[in-house]
Amino acid sequence: MTAAELGGAALGAFRARFGEALSTADAALDAHGRDESGLEVVRAGAVLFARTEADVVDALALAREFRVPVVPFAAGSSLEGQLIPPPGALSLDLSGMTRVLDVRPGAFQATVEPGVTYPQLNRAVRAHGLFFPVDPGAEATLGGMASTNASGTAAVRYGTTRENVLALRVALMDGRVLSLGSRARKSSAGYDLRHLFLGAEGTLGVITELTVRLWPLPTARLALRCAFPDVGSAARAATAVMGAAAQPERLELMDARGLRAVNRHLGLTEPEVPTLWIELAGASAGALEDVRALCEELCRDAGALDVRVARQPEDLEALWRARHHAFYALKALYPGEAFLSTDLCVPLDALPDILTFTEDGLRAEGLDASVLGHVGDGNFHVLFHAPRGSGDWARIDALYARLVERTLALGGTCSGEHGVGLHKRRFLRAQHGDAVELMREVKTLLDPLNLLNPGKVLPDPA
């Protein structure tokens, strides 16, 4: 039996179980038919606002009974179309599951429901001198971040979501709820099923609880703002800083277009040239000076035009606010246009190569796009834009494909942190080869009716 739209007897059964927690209001359907990907809105059949794990389990049971597709949803901040529902599907909104269930300062960990955002968790643990370091920028939820293996500016020092999740509870389509992982810092017991669900984008199960690692808040921090004549020299400086074991907390690149957009959006006066932002942390301000001096020397050797240092907390906050607003600043610079944000990651020694290749490709195609990213771990983004329906999109699509091809040839990946969703399905086989068929077998084993976020991640069968 094939999947069906949510209506008739199915809608009645969901209403009988969930009452007002199930919505078919136009505003709810519109809000849950989009993410930040720029794809068109596709209306779900209904939106269910889950409050408990039992709600999730019961929703999956009814979906299985009536063959209704289910798309997990929380903050709606993903960028690759993961949240776009098939017509008539159930959008399962977990953003109301917002309890911080347990904080164990001595174990450096917290247990949360999937709708908790990372800023909410950080507010809850700050009094203990701890923080959760993964910061994708948007007010993302921990469940959504785990589902896409999100990272962000601090991944260069603390790793991605995957490295910071110790344990999960996951509801499966067959009614089971699995507890995966443990509160221990390491384990060699059996298959590592926890990591199977981290980055699965809601196609294998629905995360209902997470236990995450916490880290001590840095005592002293500073940041260098290093301006360069071109993106290639900035990339070479980033590689040198990482090779010198400076262990930056953050190492970010923004090109001249991005700085121009941020200046206009936030009223700043940053130099509008390619810039590295390097944050360092240590046990004391004095302990940071040698590392700061080393990073400045490496940047100047790579061709830095200017190096400035931010030391005050308010200056650091303003700097990272500017970085986190870059996507929205660029969108504001070109109102009414459509956008596509790439998300490629290469080995660090290949970073100058791929960034130079990108800049050359943009010039050759006559495209106006911004390059920025978490260059300390080889992850970069190109934000393309053009009017909807413009002939530019054919050139953008062709260049995007060449960028992925070059990235894979350099040993990289078509997604460093945004996930696959709808946008990158066409590249998955080029990256993984025959392993895609094994992924399909895993999907069939856990979701034989293909009801959990169908049409995402895996490409169509060859």
Q: What are phi and psi of 66, to 5 degrees?
A: -100, 5
If one looks up domain 8-96 in CATH, what number appears? Answer: 3.30.43.10
Q: Are 383 and 372 in contact (CB under 8 A)?
A: yes
DSSP E strand boundaries for 39-185: 46-49, 70-73, 90-93, 100-104, 109-112, 130-131, 165-171, 177-181
Write down the domain spans for the chain: 8-96, 100-216, 220-328, 334-416
Q: Are 395 and 362 in contact (CB under 8 A)?
A: no
pLDDT of the chain, 462 residues: tens digit per residue: 356 678 789 999 999 999 999 999 999 999 999 988 777 789 999 999 999 999 999 999 999 999 999 999 999 999 999 999 998 999 999 999 999 999 999 999 999 999 999 999 999 999 999 999 999 878 999 999 999 999 999 999 999 999 999 999 999 999 999 999 999 999 999 999 999 999 999 999 999 999 999 999 999 999 999 999 999 999 999 999 999 988 999 999 999 999 999 999 999 888 999 999 999 998 888 889 999 999 999 999 999 999 999 999 998 988 888 888 888 898 888 888 888 888 999 999 999 999 999 999 999 999 999 999 899 999 999 999 999 889 999 999 999 999 999 999 999 999 999 999 999 999 999 999 999 999 999 999 999 999 999 999 999 987
DSSP E strand boundaries for 55-162: 70-73, 90-93, 100-104, 109-112, 130-131
**Token code pair at residue 110:** 């917290």
If one looks up domain 100-216 in CATH, what number appears? Answer: 3.30.465.10
Q: How far is CA 402 from CA 317, 333, 368, 384, in A?
A: 37, 26, 17, 14
Do the domains 334-416 and 220-328 match in fold? yes
Q: Are 50 and 92 in contact (CB under 8 A)?
A: yes
- Distance separating alpha carbons of residues 259 and 210, to the nearest angstrom: 36
**Token code pair at residue 375:** 């260059």
- Which helix (H) or strand (E) is 371 found in, with range? strand 370-374
Q: Which CATH number fits domain 334-416: 3.30.70.2740, 3.20.20.70, 1.25.40.10, 3.40.50.300?
A: 3.30.70.2740
Helix 392-409, helix 351-365: angle, nearest 10: 160
- Please tell me the pTM assigned to this model: 0.94
- Secondary structure of 273-295 as H, E, C letters: CCEEEEEEEECCHHHHHHHHHHH
Structurally, at CATH architecture level, domain 220-328 sits in 2-Layer Sandwich (3.30)
- Which helix (H) or strand (E) is 223 found in, with range? strand 220-227
